[in-house]
Amino acid sequence: MILVLNGPNLGRLGTREPAVYGSTTHADLVELCEKTGRDLGVEVEVRQTDHEGEMVGWLHEAADRALPVVLNAGAWTHYSIAVRDAAAQLSAPLVEVHISNVHKREEFRRHSVLSDIAAGVILGLGVDGYALALRWLAGAARG
């Protein structure tokens, strides 16, 4: 199983700053990830939270179950050492995803506290980045 974990404000995809994040809703994103999982023959579970402690708990669960993770930590990406410390406990690969190209945006979005512990980072490709991450993780799991 692959866990897709989305952080704060990502539940508002579709209505949130559509010029930056597009018109795809979080429900559409869940469908895209589940369909990608079906195509790949891997179970995919998508979760979203606006609460940092809940995200930390999900990362602990992924660490305990040795699950690969696709993580869009939203704004936490840029400053949450708690999320980083939880993600650092994972034994299976982590792929960091951002819908927008954070390097084209404000300076404070350029730094990620997660990138150096991620297997890879996909950004700026919209929600397609999730499908690409799942594809790569499914291959990584097969070895």
For the annotated catalytic residues, the residue numbers are 21, 98
Q: Per CB under 6 A, which region of 44-52, 60-68, 71-79, 80-88 contacts ligand DQA?
A: 71-79
**Least distance from C-beta 111 to ligand DQA, angstroms?**
10
Residue 72 marked as a ligand binder: yes
Distances (CA, A) of 141 to 20, 41, 68, 91, 98: 32, 12, 8, 12, 22
φ, ψ of residue 90 to 5 degrees: the values are -65, 145
Q: Does 25 bind ligand DQA (CB under 6 A)?
A: no
Read off the tokens for 78.
């840029």
Neighbour tally for 104: CB within 10 Å: 11
> Is the distance from CB of 42 to CB of 114 less than 8 angstroms?
no
Total residues contacting ligand DQA by CB under 6 A comes to: 10
Between residue 75 and residue 114, which ones bind ligand DQA under the rule CB under 6 A? 75, 77, 98-100, 102, 109
Look at the block and give the residue holding tokens 């512990």.
117
Compare residues 91 and 101 and give the one whose CB is closer to ligand DQA. Answer: 101
Compare residues 1 and 75 and give the one whose CB is closer to ligand DQA. Answer: 75
Mapped to the 3 state alphabet, what secondary structure does 2-46 carry?
EEEEECCCHHHCCCCCHHHHCCCCHHHHHHHHHHHHHHHCCCEEE
Residue 85 marked as a ligand binder: yes
Among 74, 90, 133, 137, binds ligand DQA (CB under 6 A): 74
Q: Which residues make up the interface to ligand DQA (CB under 6 A)?
A: 9, 72, 74-75, 77, 98-100, 102, 109
